[in-house]
Amino acid sequence: MTEPLVRVENLTKHFPIRKGMLIERVVGAVQAVDNISFTINRGETLGMVGESGCGKTTAGRTLLGLYPATSGKTIIDGHSVYEARGSELMKVRRKAQMIFQDPYASLNPRWTVNSIVSEPLRVHNLINTRKERDERVKELLELVGLNARHINRFPHEFSGGQRQRIGIARALASEPLFVVCDEPISALDVSIQAQVVNLLEKLQDQLGLTYLFVAHDLSMVRHICDRVAVMYLGVMVELAERDELYENPLHPYTKALLSAVPVPDPRKERERKRVILSGDVPSPINPPSGCRFHPRCPVAVERCKAEVPEWREVRPGHHVACHLVEK
């Protein structure tokens, strides 16, 4: 069995809350990500889903070392992200890239498309002459479906979908192995979402990329991902192969989440039995004890309040963190 490209072990990220003016004290922490472990195989697309406050975006950023981890390990292609320094860290940055959610905020408004897309080339000293860099930028723009003539334009001259493509071109410039896609289509119109998703798939086939696809749109995740992980309040509650998760969800939260997704089929919508959760997602500053889902869980028992459920592989390739799921 080949070594997975990405291995995450017990990753935890807490953001300390400080109070005080002259001398700051740490009074608490936002427990954004708590002890998650998973792997991603080469060429695979792992989806990470969950609602606001579940920690999926924080997980993606911490995984790449953009936020320092509070504890835990991430190994990308053999490199330990949190221990890498200097040139090794630069290697990590080359091999692992990110595509961002907001096409309007993720590009420097004062830079031309050329500067934006060629930045990885310059920073990693991949191409040293101006002329060759420009050529490569044009190639990348064409690769993502943009017109190479626009190389000297500014971001505000493009539409949202086009800007997202610029972001993709930038991420691909350093020829990465692994790309974290942080909600890359949420800010786009439905008809443009399909364009961008098709592009991401085409590029994955062409370039042999591995993706972590962070999203909240469960329909899109089912379409594009091979395996899916479900996050709730900083904890990973279920991880399974795609169709297995959608057809046989085991965790009560996953079941509620899937039943809440509207389906564009009026007859089905009328006939469906919905699991409606009560209340709101609690704050990650003071998460509930034991299983973090227990206050809203329709089938919770005493044990759920007292004990944190173990992350277990209950079926081949199907992990769950729930006391009520038998092996």
Partner 1 sequence: MSTPVQASNQPATMIAEIEAPPLSLGDLTWRRFKRHKMAIAGLVVLILLVIYSFGGAFFVTEKYANFTNTKERLQPPSAAHPFGTDTIGRDLLARTIYGGQISIIIGITAAFVEVMVGILIGALAGYFGGKVDAILMRFTEAMLNLPQLLLLIVMAKFFSSDIKNIDIFGREFSGSVVVIIFIIGLTSWPYLARIVRAEFLSIKEREFILAARATGTPTWEIIFKHILPNSIAPIVVSATLGVAGAISLEAYVSFLGLGVRAPTATWGNMLENAYRYIESAYWMWLFPGLFIVLIVLSINFLGDGLRDALDPRSRTV
Partner 2 sequence: MKTDHKFLEVKNLKTQFNTPEGTVYAVNGVTFNLSEGETLAVVGESGCGKSVTMMSIMRLIQIPPGKIVGGEVIYRDNDLLQLSEEAMEQIRGREIAMIFQDPMTSLNPVLTVGRQLTETLRTHTPMTPEQCRERAQNLLELVGIPDAKKRLDNYPHQFSGGMRQRVMIAMSLACTPSLLIADEPTTALDVTIQAQIIELVKELKKSVGMAMIWITHDLGVVAGLADRVLVMYAGYVVEEALVDELYENTLHPYTLALLQALPRADRRRDQSLKSIKGSPPNLLVEPRGCPFAPRCEFVQEKCITENPALLDIETNHKVACWVDVKTGALR
Residues contributing to the site for partner 1 (CB under 8 A): 61, 64, 66, 89-90, 93-94, 97-98, 100-102, 105-111, 119-120, 123-124, 147, 150, 154, 156-159, 162, 167, 170, 174
Closest CA to 304 of 235, 245, 239, 249: 235
Residue type, 116: I
Q: Which structure tokens are listed for 66? A: 């953009």
Q: How far is the CB of 110 from partner 1 (least distance, A)?
A: 4
Token pair belonging to 229: 């992980």
- Closer to partner 1 by CB, 162 or 254: give it: 162
Q: State the minimum distance, in angstroms, from the CB of residue 206 to partner 1.
A: 21
Which tokens go with 108? Answer: 């420097």
Indicate whether 286 belongs to the interface with partner 2 (CB under 8 A). no
Tokens 């389906």 identify what position?
263
Place of tokens 């995740």: 221
Q: Could you give the dihedral angle defined by the CA atoms of residues 52, 53, 55 and 57, in that order, rounded to the nearest 10 degrees?
A: 50
233 binds partner 2 (CB under 8 A): no
The residue among 280 and 326 lying less far from partner 2, judged by its C-beta, is: 280
| Residues contacting 270, CB < 8 A, separation 6+ | none
* Site for partner 2, residues 49 to 68, rule: CB under 8 A: 51-52
- Residue 11 or residue 300: which is nearer to partner 2 going by CB? 300
Q: Of how many residues is the chain composed?
A: 327
**In the complex, what is the shortest distance from the CB of residue 170 to partner 1, in angstroms, rounded to a whole number?**
7
Q: Which option in partner 2, partner 1, none does residue 302 bind, with CB closer than 5 to 8 A by kind?
A: none
**CA pair distance 44, 265, nearest whole angstrom:** 30
Does position 219 bind partner 2 by CB under 8 A? yes
The answer to whether residue 265 forms part of the interface with partner 2 (CB under 8 A) is: yes
183 by DSSP, 3-state: which? coil
Question: Which CB sits closer to partner 2, 121 or 291?
Answer: 291
**Stretch of 12-20, 71-79, 103-111, 275-283 lying at the interface with partner 2 (CB under 8 A):** 275-283
Nearer to partner 1, 40 or 96 (CB): 96
Q: Helix, strand, coil proportions of the chain in percent (round to 5)?
A: 35, 25, 40
Burial zone of 19 (CB within 10 Å; 0-12 exposed, 13-18 middle, 19+ buried): exposed
- 314: partner contacted, choices partner 1, partner 2, none (Cβ within 5-8 A by kind): none
DSSP 8-state class, residue 148: G
| Residues at the interface with partner 2 (CB under 8 A) | 51-52, 159, 161-162, 189-195, 197-198, 201, 216-220, 222-224, 243, 246, 256-270, 274, 276-281
